[in-house]
């Protein structure tokens, strides 16, 4: 009996078909041009995804990484709110819809889904790609300006991924406030850079002020213990590289690591991790060094040795971003 195909594999297959007939050189040039635009300052009402070729190339290049980052953030959120699943979902600035794929992988089954974006070519292509996923076949795709006049219908979940960097400070605040007013849970993902982390912390503060509880990654809803300007909180998700990735970046590896920062917050009761691994664990002879953010609002290094028995085995398997200790060890 064949194993069921995962949403990630279905998405990769759907994306591969987008590039049929598009010369590899043109796809690579489109991606490089669009990356250059995204690194600059782009008005939110001036879409840079101009046509299907632009959108197809950029979707094939960026959707897998966005999917994996959002999927990791949603997984941590689901661990903190284990008995809840969203019955409705709005993805703000969702483009071709990577986040709705991640939500469908985290909580299988159908739900009301709406993707909002300003770029009509992205919405059209997202609708086409989503047809490959039965859970997303009825999703709504709506052209909307993402800014101070944004109004959202009530929903269980709002996701905002890689959008805040494209907005002015005022528009970022308006978006987060609109999400907080409309949703029971909000998940925001940004690039894992100092700037991305700063935007996430800004959003985190607004959500807490609106009455939300942080479910992940933080073990608490108090102030972040990281000193601004000295460090930043980010995580990593492994992404399988397509041939387009290798063409554009000139790399030979079959994967890359997507660095991202995020906050997942909700009005629901939460059971956050006792602590969170906030750096890649360091394996030494007979010991594992874990950098942890803890519930007492402190960052600490924990050394787990062979003398800790099963906990040492778990530490050797621990990954950047994991809850610690394993839930089975908390009782």
Q: Residue 212 maps to which CATH number? A: 3.40.50.150
- Strand pairing category for 140-143 and 112-117: parallel
Asked if residues 34 and 49 have their Cβ atoms less than 8 Å apart, the reply is yes
The pLDDT > 90 percentage for the chain reads 67
- pLDDT for 50 equals 62
Is 80 exceeded by the pLDDT of residue 255?
Answer: no
The domain boundary, picked from 266, 288, 310, lies at: 266
- Strand pairing category for 299-305 and 282-284: unpaired
Both 179 and 311 in one domain: the answer is: no
pLDDT tier at 243, thresholds 50, 70, 90: low
Is 50 exceeded by the pLDDT of residue 331?
Answer: no
Dihedral sign (CA 26, 32, 33, 38)? positive
Terminal alpha carbon distance of the chain:
39
What is the DSSP secondary-structure string of 12-67?
HHHHHHHTTTS-HHHHHHHHHHHHHHHTS---TTS-S--SHHHHHHHHHHHHHHHH
Both 237 and 325 in one domain: the answer is: no
Both 283 and 252 in one domain: the answer is: no
CA distance 231 to 44: 29
- pLDDT for 43 equals 47
Is 60 exceeded by the pLDDT of residue 78?
Answer: yes
Both 119 and 240 in one domain: the answer is: yes
The pLDDT > 70 percentage for the chain reads 87
11-20, 250-259, 299-308 — which one is most confidently predicted on average?
299-308
Alpha-carbon torsion, ordered 273, 278, 280, 283, to 10 deg: -70
Both 222 and 283 in one domain: the answer is: no
Both 292 and 163 in one domain: the answer is: no
Asked if residues 272 and 216 have their Cβ atoms less than 8 Å apart, the reply is yes
- pLDDT for 86 equals 98
Would residue 115 count as lying in a domain?
Answer: yes
Both 200 and 78 in one domain: the answer is: yes
Would residue 2 count as lying in a domain?
Answer: no
Both 255 and 294 in one domain: the answer is: no
Is 60 exceeded by the pLDDT of residue 329?
Answer: no
Question: How confident is the model over 131-170, as pLDDT tens digits?
Answer: 999 999 889 999 999 988 999 999 999 999 999 998 999 9
For the ranges 36-50, 225-239, 313-327, which has the lowest average pLDDT? 36-50
Both 259 and 315 in one domain: the answer is: no
Asked if residues 146 and 175 have their Cβ atoms less than 8 Å apart, the reply is yes
pLDDT tier at 38, thresholds 50, 70, 90: low
Question: How confident is the model over 293-305, as pLDDT tens digits?
Answer: 999 989 999 999 9
Is 50 exceeded by the pLDDT of residue 330?
Answer: no
Would residue 1 count as lying in a domain?
Answer: no
- pLDDT for 49 equals 59
pLDDT tier at 174, thresholds 50, 70, 90: very high
The domain boundary, picked from 266, 284, 302, lies at: 266
For the ranges 14-28, 79-93, 110-124, 200-214, which has the lowest average pLDDT? 14-28
pLDDT tier at 44, thresholds 50, 70, 90: very low
The domain boundary, picked from 221, 239, 266, lies at: 266
Total domains in the fold of the chain = 2
- What's the whole-model pTM score? 0.90
Task: Please give the distance of CA 58 from its chain centroid, rounded to a whole number.
Answer: 17
What range does the domain containing 323 cover? 275-329
Six-digit token string for 6? 């995962």
Would residue 226 count as lying in a domain?
Answer: yes
Task: Please give the distance of CA 281 from its chain centroid, rounded to a whole number.
Answer: 21
Both 286 and 237 in one domain: the answer is: no
**Maximal C-alpha separation, the chain:** 60
Q: Beta-strand (E) ranges in 93-195?
A: 112-117, 140-143, 155-161, 183-191
- pLDDT for 54 equals 75
Asked if residues 90 and 116 have their Cβ atoms less than 8 Å apart, the reply is yes
Both 302 and 262 in one domain: the answer is: no
Is 50 exceeded by the pLDDT of residue 70?
Answer: yes
Is 50 exceeded by the pLDDT of residue 45?
Answer: no
Both 78 and 222 in one domain: the answer is: yes
Q: What angle do CA 197, 257, 280 make, to 5 degrees?
A: 70
């Amino acid at each position: 009996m064949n194993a069921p195909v995962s949403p990630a594999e279905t998405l990769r297959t759907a994306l591969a078909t987008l590039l049929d007939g598009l010369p590899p050189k043109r796809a690579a040039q489109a991606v490089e041009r669009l990356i250059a635009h995204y690194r600059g300052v782009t008005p939110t009402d001036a879409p840079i995804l101009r046509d299907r070729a632009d959108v197809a190339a950029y979707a094939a290049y960026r959707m897998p990484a966005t999917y994996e980052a959002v999927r990791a953030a949603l997984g941590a959120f689901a661990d903190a709110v284990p008995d809840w699943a969203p019955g409705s979902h709005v993805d703000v600035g969702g483009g071709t819809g990577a986040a709705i794929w991640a939500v469908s992988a985290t909580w299988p089954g159908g739900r009301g889904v709406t993707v909002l974006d300003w770029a009509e070519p992205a919405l059209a292509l997202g609708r086409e790609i989503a047809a490959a996923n039965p859970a997303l076949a009825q999703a709504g795709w709506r052209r909307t300006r993402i800014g101070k006049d944004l109004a959202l219908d009530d929903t269980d979940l709002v996701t905002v991924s890689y959008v805040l960097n494209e907005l002015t400070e005022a528009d970022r605040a308006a978006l987060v406030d609109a999400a907080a007013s409309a949703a029971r849970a909000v998940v925001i993902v940004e690039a894992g850079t100092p700037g991305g982390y700063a935007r996430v912390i800004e959003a985190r503060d607004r959500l807490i002020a609106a009455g939300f509880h942080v479910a992940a990654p933080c073990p608490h809803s108090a102030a972040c213990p990281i000193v601004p300007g000295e460090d930043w909180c980010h995580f990593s998700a492994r992404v399988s590289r397509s041939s387009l990735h290798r063409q554009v970046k000139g790399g030979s590896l079959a994967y890359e690591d997507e660095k991202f920062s995020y906050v997942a917050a909700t009005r629901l009761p939460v059971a956050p991790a006792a602590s969170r691994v906030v750096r890649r664990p360091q394996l030494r002879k007979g010991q594992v060094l874990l950098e942890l953010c803890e519930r007492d609002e402190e960052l600490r290094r924990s050394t787990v040795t062979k003398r800790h028995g099963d906990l040492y085995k778990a530490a050797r398997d621990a990954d950047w971003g994991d809850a610690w200790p394993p839930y089975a060890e908390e009782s």
